[in-house]
Amino acid sequence: MKSPYKKWTQNKVDSWFEGKADAGSVPNKIKLWFYESYGELGRDVPEHNAASGKPRILYTLYPKRFYQNPIVTTRVEKDLDFVFIGSFTMSISLKEAMRNRSWVLEFAKDYFKEENSLFINTSGNYRLIQEVKHGSPISEHPRSGAPVAGMGADPYLGIDPETGLAGWRVLGPWDKTWEPHNHLVPKMAKLENKNNFDDAYFSAMMRAKFAPCPGGDGPWSMRFYEALMCRAIPIVSWPRESYRSVEESQLDYKYYLADDGPFVYRKDWAAHNYELFLKHHTLYYNV
Protein backbone atom coordinates (compact mmCIF):
# COMPACT_ATOMS: atom_id res chain seq x y z
CA MET A 1 0.00 0.00 0.00
CA LYS A 2 1.56 3.30 -1.07
CA SER A 3 2.16 5.95 1.55
CA PRO A 4 -0.20 8.92 1.21
CA TYR A 5 2.86 11.06 1.89
CA LYS A 6 4.99 9.68 -0.90
CA LYS A 7 5.40 13.20 -2.33
CA TRP A 8 6.87 14.55 0.89
CA THR A 9 10.60 15.13 0.63
CA GLN A 10 12.93 14.75 3.59
CA ASN A 11 13.42 18.53 3.53
CA LYS A 12 9.70 19.04 3.99
CA VAL A 13 9.64 16.61 6.90
CA ASP A 14 12.65 18.33 8.48
CA SER A 15 11.13 21.78 8.03
CA TRP A 16 7.86 20.60 9.53
CA PHE A 17 9.77 19.56 12.65
CA GLU A 18 11.48 22.93 13.09
CA GLY A 19 10.19 24.62 16.24
CA LYS A 20 7.31 22.18 16.70
CA ALA A 21 8.20 21.44 20.31
CA ASP A 22 7.52 25.04 21.34
CA ALA A 23 4.14 25.63 22.97
CA GLY A 24 3.40 28.41 20.50
CA SER A 25 3.61 26.11 17.49
CA VAL A 26 1.65 23.02 18.54
CA PRO A 27 -2.12 22.40 18.26
CA ASN A 28 -4.28 24.17 20.84
CA LYS A 29 -5.58 20.89 22.27
CA ILE A 30 -2.04 19.75 23.11
CA LYS A 31 -1.23 23.09 24.70
CA LEU A 32 -4.39 22.98 26.80
CA TRP A 33 -3.71 19.42 27.99
CA PHE A 34 -0.07 20.28 28.68
CA TYR A 35 -1.01 23.07 31.08
CA GLU A 36 -3.89 21.03 32.53
CA SER A 37 -1.55 18.10 33.25
CA TYR A 38 0.86 20.26 35.22
CA GLY A 39 -1.88 22.33 36.79
CA GLU A 40 -3.72 19.33 38.24
CA LEU A 41 -0.52 18.39 40.07
CA GLY A 42 0.04 21.95 41.27
CA ARG A 43 3.37 22.06 39.46
CA ASP A 44 5.04 24.70 37.35
CA VAL A 45 5.52 23.96 33.66
CA PRO A 46 9.04 23.06 32.51
CA GLU A 47 11.64 25.69 31.69
CA HIS A 48 10.99 27.99 28.78
CA ASN A 49 12.71 27.88 25.43
CA ALA A 50 15.07 30.85 25.47
CA ALA A 51 14.32 31.69 21.84
CA SER A 52 10.53 31.67 22.01
CA GLY A 53 9.94 32.37 25.69
CA LYS A 54 7.39 29.55 25.76
CA PRO A 55 7.48 26.06 27.32
CA ARG A 56 8.79 23.25 25.18
CA ILE A 57 6.28 20.43 24.72
CA LEU A 58 8.55 17.52 23.91
CA TYR A 59 5.88 14.86 24.48
CA THR A 60 2.13 15.10 23.99
CA LEU A 61 0.54 14.88 27.44
CA TYR A 62 -2.87 13.59 28.51
CA PRO A 63 -4.43 14.80 31.78
CA LYS A 64 -5.76 12.47 34.47
CA ARG A 65 -9.36 12.67 33.30
CA PHE A 66 -8.30 10.58 30.30
CA TYR A 67 -5.85 7.97 31.53
CA GLN A 68 -7.55 7.55 34.93
CA ASN A 69 -11.07 7.36 33.50
CA PRO A 70 -12.72 4.04 34.55
CA ILE A 71 -13.44 3.24 30.90
CA VAL A 72 -9.69 3.19 30.22
CA THR A 73 -8.53 1.63 33.48
CA THR A 74 -11.08 -1.23 33.46
CA ARG A 75 -9.81 -4.17 31.40
CA VAL A 76 -12.35 -5.54 28.92
CA GLU A 77 -12.29 -8.36 26.39
CA LYS A 78 -10.58 -7.49 23.12
CA ASP A 79 -13.51 -8.70 21.03
CA LEU A 80 -13.00 -6.34 18.05
CA ASP A 81 -10.13 -6.85 15.65
CA PHE A 82 -10.09 -3.41 14.02
CA VAL A 83 -11.64 -0.09 15.05
CA PHE A 84 -11.52 3.23 13.24
CA ILE A 85 -13.76 5.99 14.55
CA GLY A 86 -12.73 9.35 13.17
CA SER A 87 -13.50 12.41 11.14
CA PHE A 88 -12.62 13.32 7.58
CA THR A 89 -13.26 16.98 8.40
CA MET A 90 -10.19 18.78 9.71
CA SER A 91 -8.65 22.24 9.79
CA ILE A 92 -6.91 21.59 6.49
CA SER A 93 -8.72 21.32 3.16
CA LEU A 94 -10.79 18.27 2.34
CA LYS A 95 -8.31 17.43 -0.40
CA GLU A 96 -5.44 17.32 2.10
CA ALA A 97 -7.50 15.49 4.71
CA MET A 98 -8.47 12.78 2.25
CA ARG A 99 -4.86 12.47 1.11
CA ASN A 100 -3.71 12.04 4.70
CA ARG A 101 -6.40 9.50 5.56
CA SER A 102 -7.27 7.80 2.28
CA TRP A 103 -5.11 4.74 2.94
CA VAL A 104 -7.30 3.72 5.89
CA LEU A 105 -10.31 3.40 3.58
CA GLU A 106 -8.64 0.82 1.35
CA PHE A 107 -7.15 -0.87 4.41
CA ALA A 108 -10.60 -1.19 5.98
CA LYS A 109 -12.01 -2.74 2.82
CA ASP A 110 -9.21 -5.33 2.91
CA TYR A 111 -9.26 -6.24 6.61
CA PHE A 112 -12.45 -5.14 8.37
CA LYS A 113 -15.14 -7.81 8.83
CA GLU A 114 -18.77 -7.28 9.84
CA GLU A 115 -18.62 -9.57 12.86
CA ASN A 116 -15.48 -8.15 14.47
CA SER A 117 -14.68 -4.66 13.17
CA LEU A 118 -16.11 -1.14 13.46
CA PHE A 119 -15.70 1.86 11.17
CA ILE A 120 -17.43 5.22 11.66
CA ASN A 121 -16.81 8.42 9.72
CA THR A 122 -17.93 10.70 12.55
CA SER A 123 -18.19 13.77 10.34
CA GLY A 124 -20.69 12.07 8.01
CA ASN A 125 -21.42 14.38 5.11
CA TYR A 126 -20.16 17.55 6.76
CA ARG A 127 -18.23 19.53 4.11
CA LEU A 128 -18.37 16.55 1.76
CA ILE A 129 -21.49 17.30 -0.29
CA GLN A 130 -20.46 20.82 -1.24
CA GLU A 131 -16.97 19.85 -2.31
CA VAL A 132 -18.13 16.72 -4.13
CA LYS A 133 -20.74 18.69 -6.08
CA HIS A 134 -18.05 21.10 -7.17
CA GLY A 135 -16.12 18.17 -8.58
CA SER A 136 -12.95 19.25 -6.80
CA PRO A 137 -10.02 16.82 -6.82
CA ILE A 138 -9.89 14.89 -3.57
CA SER A 139 -6.77 12.73 -3.56
CA GLU A 140 -4.68 10.16 -5.31
CA HIS A 141 -5.77 6.57 -5.06
CA PRO A 142 -3.58 5.04 -2.32
CA ARG A 143 -2.63 2.04 -4.46
CA SER A 144 -2.76 2.94 -8.13
CA GLY A 145 -1.70 6.57 -7.73
CA ALA A 146 -4.42 7.52 -10.23
CA PRO A 147 -6.14 10.86 -9.58
CA VAL A 148 -9.34 10.57 -7.60
CA ALA A 149 -11.59 13.49 -8.47
CA GLY A 150 -15.09 14.67 -7.61
CA MET A 151 -18.51 13.19 -8.14
CA GLY A 152 -18.62 9.89 -9.98
CA ALA A 153 -14.86 9.25 -9.98
CA ASP A 154 -14.21 9.03 -6.26
CA PRO A 155 -14.83 5.58 -4.73
CA TYR A 156 -15.82 7.06 -1.34
CA LEU A 157 -17.61 10.28 -2.28
CA GLY A 158 -20.18 10.82 -4.98
CA ILE A 159 -23.72 9.68 -5.78
CA ASP A 160 -24.70 6.71 -3.63
CA PRO A 161 -26.30 4.21 -6.03
CA GLU A 162 -28.82 3.09 -3.39
CA THR A 163 -29.98 6.46 -2.03
CA GLY A 164 -29.24 8.74 -4.98
CA LEU A 165 -27.71 11.22 -2.53
CA ALA A 166 -24.33 12.94 -2.79
CA GLY A 167 -21.85 12.35 -0.01
CA TRP A 168 -20.27 9.52 1.93
CA ARG A 169 -20.61 6.03 0.50
CA VAL A 170 -20.81 3.19 3.02
CA LEU A 171 -17.69 1.06 2.61
CA GLY A 172 -19.11 -2.25 3.84
CA PRO A 173 -21.38 -3.84 6.45
CA TRP A 174 -18.88 -2.87 9.16
CA ASP A 175 -19.18 0.83 8.21
CA LYS A 176 -21.69 2.24 10.71
CA THR A 177 -21.34 5.87 9.64
CA TRP A 178 -25.08 6.36 9.12
CA GLU A 179 -26.20 4.52 12.24
CA PRO A 180 -27.04 6.82 15.19
CA HIS A 181 -24.02 7.62 17.34
CA ASN A 182 -22.98 10.32 19.78
CA HIS A 183 -19.26 10.45 19.11
CA LEU A 184 -17.46 13.72 19.73
CA VAL A 185 -16.21 15.46 16.59
CA PRO A 186 -13.91 18.20 17.94
CA LYS A 187 -13.87 20.26 14.74
CA MET A 188 -17.69 20.34 14.80
CA ALA A 189 -18.20 20.66 18.56
CA LYS A 190 -18.91 23.81 20.55
CA LEU A 191 -15.82 25.35 22.10
CA GLU A 192 -16.71 24.22 25.61
CA ASN A 193 -17.11 20.60 24.44
CA LYS A 194 -14.05 20.21 22.20
CA ASN A 195 -11.85 18.62 24.85
CA ASN A 196 -14.43 16.35 26.47
CA PHE A 197 -13.78 12.66 27.07
CA ASP A 198 -15.64 10.65 24.40
CA ASP A 199 -17.07 7.68 26.33
CA ALA A 200 -18.29 5.79 23.26
CA TYR A 201 -15.02 6.26 21.37
CA PHE A 202 -12.78 5.08 24.19
CA SER A 203 -15.11 2.19 25.00
CA ALA A 204 -14.72 0.95 21.42
CA MET A 205 -10.96 1.52 21.43
CA MET A 206 -10.64 -0.52 24.62
CA ARG A 207 -12.30 -3.44 22.81
CA ALA A 208 -9.99 -3.14 19.78
CA LYS A 209 -6.96 -5.28 19.12
CA PHE A 210 -5.73 -2.98 16.35
CA ALA A 211 -6.30 0.69 15.55
CA PRO A 212 -5.43 2.18 12.16
CA CYS A 213 -3.89 5.58 12.90
CA PRO A 214 -3.73 7.77 9.77
CA GLY A 215 -2.50 11.33 9.93
CA GLY A 216 -4.87 14.22 10.47
CA ASP A 217 -4.15 17.92 10.09
CA GLY A 218 -0.49 16.90 9.98
CA PRO A 219 1.40 13.67 9.31
CA TRP A 220 0.33 12.26 12.73
CA SER A 221 -2.85 12.22 14.80
CA MET A 222 -3.90 11.94 18.45
CA ARG A 223 -5.33 8.50 17.66
CA PHE A 224 -1.85 6.98 17.88
CA TYR A 225 -1.49 7.99 21.56
CA GLU A 226 -5.06 6.91 22.28
CA ALA A 227 -4.33 3.47 20.83
CA LEU A 228 -1.36 3.18 23.20
CA MET A 229 -3.55 4.23 26.13
CA CYS A 230 -6.24 1.68 25.22
CA ARG A 231 -3.78 -1.18 24.65
CA ALA A 232 -4.72 -1.41 20.97
CA ILE A 233 -1.76 -1.96 18.65
CA PRO A 234 -1.45 0.98 16.24
CA ILE A 235 -1.28 0.47 12.49
CA VAL A 236 0.26 3.22 10.36
CA SER A 237 1.05 3.53 6.67
CA TRP A 238 4.59 4.76 7.37
CA PRO A 239 6.64 5.53 10.50
CA ARG A 240 6.06 9.31 10.30
CA GLU A 241 2.48 8.75 11.45
CA SER A 242 3.75 7.43 14.81
CA TYR A 243 5.13 10.62 16.39
CA ARG A 244 4.72 14.40 16.65
CA SER A 245 8.15 15.54 17.82
CA VAL A 246 11.78 14.50 17.37
CA GLU A 247 11.79 13.30 20.98
CA GLU A 248 8.76 11.06 20.39
CA SER A 249 10.40 9.63 17.27
CA GLN A 250 13.10 8.16 19.50
CA LEU A 251 10.67 6.16 21.65
CA ASP A 252 10.41 2.43 21.02
CA TYR A 253 6.73 2.25 20.15
CA LYS A 254 5.53 -1.11 18.90
CA TYR A 255 3.25 -0.91 15.88
CA TYR A 256 2.50 -2.47 12.52
CA LEU A 257 2.79 -0.94 9.08
CA ALA A 258 -0.31 -1.30 6.93
CA ASP A 259 1.58 -3.65 4.59
CA ASP A 260 2.60 -6.00 7.43
CA GLY A 261 -0.58 -8.08 7.54
CA PRO A 262 -1.77 -10.57 8.57
CA PHE A 263 -1.69 -8.96 12.02
CA VAL A 264 -1.13 -10.76 15.32
CA TYR A 265 -2.24 -9.14 18.57
CA ARG A 266 0.66 -9.24 20.99
CA LYS A 267 -0.09 -8.57 24.64
CA ASP A 268 3.58 -7.84 25.30
CA TRP A 269 3.50 -5.06 22.70
CA ALA A 270 0.31 -3.64 24.19
CA ALA A 271 1.79 -3.66 27.70
CA HIS A 272 5.06 -2.14 26.45
CA ASN A 273 3.22 0.66 24.64
CA TYR A 274 0.99 1.36 27.63
CA GLU A 275 4.05 1.73 29.87
CA LEU A 276 5.61 4.15 27.37
CA PHE A 277 2.34 6.07 27.29
CA LEU A 278 2.23 6.45 31.08
CA LYS A 279 5.91 7.37 31.26
CA HIS A 280 6.06 9.89 28.43
CA HIS A 281 2.50 11.02 27.65
CA THR A 282 1.21 11.53 31.20
CA LEU A 283 2.68 12.79 34.45
CA TYR A 284 1.67 9.54 36.18
CA TYR A 285 5.23 8.84 37.31
CA ASN A 286 5.87 12.47 38.25
CA VAL A 287 3.41 12.68 41.13
pLDDT score, position 160: 52
Rounded Cα–Cα distance for residues 180 and 266 (Å): 33
- Please determine, for residue 7, whether its predicted confidence score (pLDDT) is greater than 60: no
Average pLDDT over residues 112-138: 66
- Please determine, for residue 80, whether its predicted confidence score (pLDDT) is greater than 70: yes
CB-CB neighbours of 60 under 10 Å: 23
pTM over 0.75: yes
Q: Which domains does the chain have, with CATH numbers?
A: 10-67 (no CATH), 76-124+167-281 (3.40.50)
Rounded Cα–Cα distance for residues 51 and 29 (Å): 23
* Beta carbons within 8 Å of 266's beta carbon, 6+ residues apart: 233, 254
Backbone φ, ψ for residue 232 (5° rounding): -100, 140
Contact predicate 236/255, CB 8 Å: yes
pLDDT score, position 157: 54
What is the pLDDT confidence band of residue 162, given thresholds at 50, 70 and 90?
A: low
What is the pLDDT confidence band of residue 101, given thresholds at 50, 70 and 90?
A: confident
Nearest Cα residue to 122 out of 61, 161, 197, 178 = 178
Average pLDDT over residues 160-186: 72
Backbone φ, ψ for residue 183 (5° rounding): -70, 145
Average pLDDT over residues 102-112: 92
Query: At 209, is the secondary structure helix, strand, or coil?
Result: strand
* Region for residue 19 given its phi and psi (left: phi exceeds 0; alpha: psi -120 to 50; beta: otherwise): left
Chain mean pLDDT for the chain: 77
What pLDDT, in 10s, does the model give residues 174-221? Answer: 999 888 777 665 655 555 556 778 899 999 999 999 999 999 878 899
